[in-house]
């Protein structure tokens, strides 16, 4: 199931070679889920925000988390 869930995120289906790699993939999948939820939350806040400086701050945080998500996806 971990390989299937990783394939949904990455587009590549590969089975884990050992238990350690499978555990690392599970952790990375969990982290991807958390980061994607945070991205959604920040996007909602940025759209609703009326103050330009706060919008900029939210967008910078959003870009940082998107970069972290991309890095986490590489672990899959």
Q: Is the pLDDT of residue 59 over 90?
A: yes
Q: Is the pLDDT of residue 40 over 90?
A: yes
pLDDT given for residue 16 in this prediction: 87
Please, are residues 16 and 35 in contact by the beta-carbon 8 Å criterion?
no
**pTM for this one?**
0.87
pLDDT given for residue 27 in this prediction: 96
Nearest alpha-carbon partner for 39 in 12, 18, 61: 61
Helix-, strand-, coil-residue percentages of the chain, each rounded to 5: 80, 0, 20
Phi-psi region of 11 (alpha: psi -120 to 50; beta: other; left: phi over 0): left
């Amino acid at each position: 199931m971990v390989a299937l869930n990783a394939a949904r995120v990455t587009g590549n289906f590969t089975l884990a070679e050992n238990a350690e790699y499978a555990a690392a993939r599970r952790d990375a999948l969990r982290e991807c889920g958390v980061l994607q939820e945070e991205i959604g939350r920040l996007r909602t806040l940025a759209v609703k925000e009326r103050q330009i400086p706060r919008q900029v701050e939210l967008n910078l945080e959003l870009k940082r988390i998107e970069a972290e998500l991309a890095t986490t996806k590489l672990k899959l």
